[in-house]
Chains A and B, each alone.
Chain A
């Protein structure tokens, strides 16, 4: 039981990273892309190949995975980002599947017995899940902070503006194409990093784990939490992972077939789009020019919490 919870914590960490990437693309810039599984796949394979075949350390493979996924994101983005809405969605869906098919054609089995990641002589293995949980969540925290900084900078605001109204953004001097591609590449790169961690945990990669369903799950995570809100998508990652491991957790695998998940995710997407399109937590409203210092803000929050009790 406790093992299952730890597993959920690990996978929700991996998915939280992916969701932060997807959030950059869909939540901030408003591009409906469905190929995060592809970027995830590339990150996984880069780490697998570098660690297994070249004996390079996991830590070195991490930035390479990000670069590789980002580069593929660029290749996909340049032709497709001129498309809008559904068309972009379908084009990226196809390209995501192409990535997986290439991996399948090269080697349908994938890569196994990949060396473990280690830090200062300590080896991260699936037997000690606690250490892995800390590792992955430290990275979620780092990317959360990096993303928040982006969201509240001139660049992130421009992305939001593109989401809200492209024509107006153009008329405010924003080179929309460039921003869209940048946002797509950033999101893809974060997806690649999530892939690296996936490999580091499972120590195997197989093309069958990067299906279209993964992309749907990531999109679902973002929509459920709240588009454009990094805190919310992390919450979304927890909930989605909890749902997808629900049968194993409760021992109901015989009663509830695994396909039920697909229905549940589809249902979540539809229900959220209709009743709460802003997601569980809604938009993150940032107060610019708040003259209070950090300490004063903390005190205000503490006071508010105190008042509620």
Chain B
């Protein structure tokens, strides 16, 4: 079953067509890789889907709902979480607070109805809510093995952990679909290996993952499906084996990459 499809999705920046008429789809429960040379439009495609930016044309359907042009905060509440290519942590908040932010809209619904009353309740019963959120956030920190840093400022974490913390924050929202924008960028081999384990674990939680990655070994190892973009256009999609042998892809991307 397709959990997400884009239909003729296009994003133009002035004269630049960053995403050009792309029909992209994600199969539920699988890990989908999105690859392509620098400037191919991968991040832009992510931004359109997650509501960070609005498409010029085309539609996006998630879980049977049309989510085209919805603001990011609504998209995330529907069950799409993401990380960013240039890490966007809340640097002056603690590690555990970062993950608690991921839980923000997960906690504190009942017994009051109406937004205003919910806000009042959140205020008055803050301690109780905090405890619940804290415990759930700590579970995610355990999942990534960074619980000993819970009370450190996010900015003080080493780079690899910052990337993992961002994934933890995204996962805390209990998403159906998780977008990772170059999660292994800047990681050393040990950190990358850990990341691959983590992605496997995430898949076994039943979360559908889409990831952008330049590290071909990682992509070929963990992805079930791969979509290739070049100059904003989709040039191929299929299994890793098929992509490895695809002539267009080798020309546009792998050929260059391997010299």
**Interface positions of A (Cβ within 8 A of B):** 149-150, 152-155, 157-158, 160-161, 163-165, 167-176, 182, 283, 285-289
Contact = CB atoms under 8 A, between A and B. Distances in A.
B89 A154 contact: no
Interface in B149-171: 151, 153, 169-170
Contacts, number: 109
Which 9 A/B pairs are nearest by Cβ-Cβ distance? A153-B126, A289-B134, A164-B90, A170-B72, A173-B105, A168-B88, A173-B76, A288-B134, A154-B122
Contact of A165 (B51, B76, B88, B102): B88
Interface string B74-94: 001100011010001111111
A153 B104 contact: no
B105 to A, nearest CB: 4
A275 B104 CA distance: 34
B205 interface: no
Contacts of A167: 52, 72, 84, 88
B50 A171 contact: yes
B124 to A, nearest CB: 8
A113 B50 CA distance: 60
Contact of A152 (B77, B91, B126): B126
Contacts of B26: none
B151 A174 contact: no
Nearest to B130: A288
A283 to B, nearest CB: 6
Interface string B36-73: 00000000000000111000000000000000000111
A153 B129 contact: yes
A154 B108 contact: yes
A300 to B, nearest CB: 15
A142 to B, nearest CB: 15
A20 B97 CA distance: 23
A154 B133 contact: yes
Contacts of B151: 285, 287
Contact of B126 (A154, A161, A176): A154
B209 to A, nearest CB: 16
B131 A289 contact: yes
B100 interface: yes
22 contacts: A154-B133, A157-B100, A160-B92, A161-B90, A164-B92, A165-B91, A167-B52, A168-B89, A170-B71, A171-B50, A172-B101, A173-B76, A173-B77, A175-B71, A283-B92, A285-B94, A287-B151, A288-B94, A288-B97, A288-B100, A288-B134, A289-B135
B73 A289 contact: no
Q: Could you tell me the dominant secondary structure of chain B's interface residues?
A: helix
Contacts of A157: 93, 97, 100-101, 104
A81 to B, nearest CB: 15
A175 B89 contact: no
Nearest to A153: B126
Contact of B123 (A149, A170, A172, A287): A149
B31 to A, nearest CB: 20
B50 A164 contact: no
B127 to A, nearest CB: 8
Contacts of A174: 73, 104-105
Given A153-B130, A158-B104, A289-B138, A175 B73 contact: yes
Contacts of B93: 157, 160-161, 164
Contacts of B73: 170-176
Nearest to B107: A154
Given A164-B89, A164-B90, A167-B88, 5 more contacts: A157-B97, A160-B97, A161-B104, A164-B92, A173-B104
B157 to A, nearest CB: 14
Contacts of B88: 165, 167-168
B126 A170 contact: no
B173 interface: yes
A169 B76 CA distance: 10
B13 to A, nearest CB: 17
Contacts of B94: 285-286, 288
A207 B169 CA distance: 49
B101 A170 contact: no
B119 interface: yes
